[in-house]
Amino acid sequence: MAQNFLACDREQSFLLPPDVREWLPVDHLAWFVIDAVAVMDLTAFYAVYREDGHGRAAYEPSMMVALLLYCWSRGVRSSRRMQRACVEDVACRVIAAQQQPDHATIARFIERHETALADLFGEVLGLCADAGLASVGVIAIDGTKVAANASRDRTMDYAQIAQAIVEEAVATDAAETAEFGDLRGDELPDAIPVGEGRQRWLRAARQRLDRERARRAEPIARSRPTRLLRAKARLEEELAIEVAANRAYESYHQHGVMKNGRRFGARPKPYVSPEQPDGKVNVTDLDCRLVHGMRGWVQGYNVQAACNEQHLIIAAEVMTASPDFGHLEPMMTAARAELQAAGVNDIPELVVADAGYWHQDQMDAITADGIAVLIPPDSTRRKNPRPGWTGGAYDFMRFVLATEHGKALYKQRAQLIEPIFGNTKHNRGFTRFARRGRSAARTEWRLMASTHNLLKLHRHFTTPA
C-alpha cells in the first residue's frame, strides 16, 4: 500500500471565487482591529481630503489606520515591511482588501496625519473603558529612555554650529573655484545667445533631463547647512526668550509692588547678554536631548506612561528632560484628562511612583484632590537620607512605607508599570524612534500605547473565562 498523504497540488485553480472572509479565523486579531476601527471617530483623517472628489484617488483612511494598528501590534513599524506584508501576509492582505500601498504612501500617510494618529490613543482607551478595563484604583507612573533617530556626535553648541557653517561655506567656495575658476558658473554657452542655437540647446537639455528623471526618480535631499542654520536659529531663539524674560522681570521690579508707600523687591542687577547662547542642540533632531538610562547616556527622549491595575496604559507622553523630577503632576493631569475623555469620571485612589518623582509641591496638589500619593523620598541605591530630607513629609512617608500595608501598596508599582516597558522594548522591539522631532516621537509612543491597549482588549474578549 502506498503512503497516505494529503494532496498538495499548487496547480489546482480555485473552483469558486476566493473570499477573504474565509482566509482567517473569526477570532483573529485582524478582524478585531477592522471592527474596532469601524467604530472609531476618524473625522480628523477624512477632513484633510477634498470633498469634491477631484484629484487622484487616495486609499481609504480607515483601511490605512487598520493596517497601521495591526502592523504596529505585530511589531512591524517599517513602511517597507508593511508594503511587503500586504503581499506576503494573509492578515494584511485581508485588511488592505488585496490592495498594496507602497512604502512612500504609507510614510506620507503617517506624516500627514501625525496628530490624528496620536489621538487614536484616546479612541482605543474609550473602547477599553467601555469593556470595563479602565479602572482607577491604583495608578503607577514611570518613565524609560528611548533613543532618538539622531547621532550623539552631532550635538553641538553655538560656536561649533557657527564654525561648521563657516567650514562648509569655505569648502563650497573652494570646490566652485576649482570647477569654474574665474567664471561665475552660470554663464551661457557661446551658441546660447543666438536665437536658433538657444532653442536647439534648450530642446536637447529638456530631452536629457527627461531621460535622467526617468532613469532615477530620487527625491531631493535636504542640505546639511539648512539643518545647521535651523539649529543655530533655535539657540538664538532660546537666548531671545531668556533676554525678554529678564527684561520683564527687571521692569516688574523697577515699577515695584507698592505697599504702605514702600516698594518691595530688590532691583536685580542689569542683565548682560552673553556673546553667544549657552547650551547645546542636536542638529539631526533639534528636540532630543542627552538622557541618562539604565545603561548610560543616550541621545533620545524620556518616555512617560501611567497604567492601572489591569496593565492598561491610561496616559502616554514624551518629555525631553532626563530626570523624572517634575513629571508627576503633568502625567497625573494627562491621565485624568484621558480617562474623562474616555467616559471614566472616577477619581484614582492611589498614585505610586519611584523616588525620582518626589516633588513636594506637586504631591501636595495631587493629595489636595483626594488622591493618595506613595513615593519614597530615598532611592534604593541610597543608604542614608539626603542632606536636609528629614522631618515632616519625608519622615512620614518613610514611616508609611515601613509598614506592611505600605510595602504591599508600593510593591504594586514594579508589578504594574515595569512589565509594560519590558514588553514594549524587549518583546515588541521598540528601542528607537523612527522619525525626528518631539511631535513625531509622541505620535509613535502613543501608537505603541494604543496597540498595547488594543491587544489587551482583544485578549479580554478572546481569552476563555
Return the C-alpha cell found at 17.
471565487
Beta strand segments in 421-460, E = none
For residue 426, what is the DSSP state?
A: I
**121-159 b/e with 16+ CB inside 10 Å = b?**
bbbbbbbbbeeebbbbebbbbbbbbbbbbbeeebbbbbe
- H/E segment holding residue 171: helix 158-180
- The length of the chain in residues reads 465
Which is nearest to 342 in space by CA: 141, 132, 140? 132
The pLDDT profile of the chain, 465 residues, written as one tens digit per residue, is: 666 666 777 777 777 677 777 888 989 999 999 999 999 999 999 998 888 878 888 899 999 999 999 999 999 999 999 999 999 999 999 999 889 999 999 999 999 999 999 999 999 999 999 999 988 889 999 999 999 999 888 888 877 778 888 888 888 888 888 887 777 777 666 655 556 666 777 788 888 888 887 777 655 445 555 667 777 777 777 777 777 766 765 655 555 444 444 444 556 667 677 776 677 888 888 889 999 888 789 999 999 999 999 999 999 999 998 999 999 999 999 999 999 999 888 899 999 999 999 999 999 999 999 999 999 988 777 667 777 777 788 888 889 989 999 999 999 999 999 999 999 999 999 999 999 999 999 999 999 999 999 999 999 988 775
> In terms of pTM, does the model score above 0.75?
yes
> CA dihedral in degrees (345, 350, 352, 357; nearest 10)?
70
CB atoms within 10 A of CB 66: 23
- Residue the block writes with cell 522594548: 425
- Rounded to 5°, angle at Cα 67 from 62 and 68: 100
Per-residue pLDDT at 178: 84
Q: Which residues pair with 146 in a beta bridge?
A: 301
Nearest-CA neighbor of 346 among 327, 370, 368?
Answer: 370
Task: Identify which of 63, 150, 74 has the alpha carbon closest to the alpha carbon of residue 109.
Answer: 63
Question: How many Cβ atoms are within 10 Å of 55's Cβ, its own excluded?
Answer: 8
pLDDT at 390 (0 to 100)? 76
8 A C-beta contact, residue 351 and residue 331? no
CA distances from 78 to 87, 97, 189 (A): 15, 20, 47
- Under 8 Å between Cβ of 417 and 307: yes
8-state DSSP, 188: P
190 to each of 52, 194, 201, 202, how far by Cα in Å?
51, 8, 11, 13
Question: With 0-12 CB in 10 A as exposed, 13-18 as middle and 19+ as buried, what is 234?
Answer: middle
Q: What was the pLDDT predicted at 220?
A: 46
List CB contacts of 77: < 8 A, sequence separation 6 or more.
Answer: 71, 430, 434, 444
Nearest Cα neighbor of 67 from 107, 19, 27 is: 107
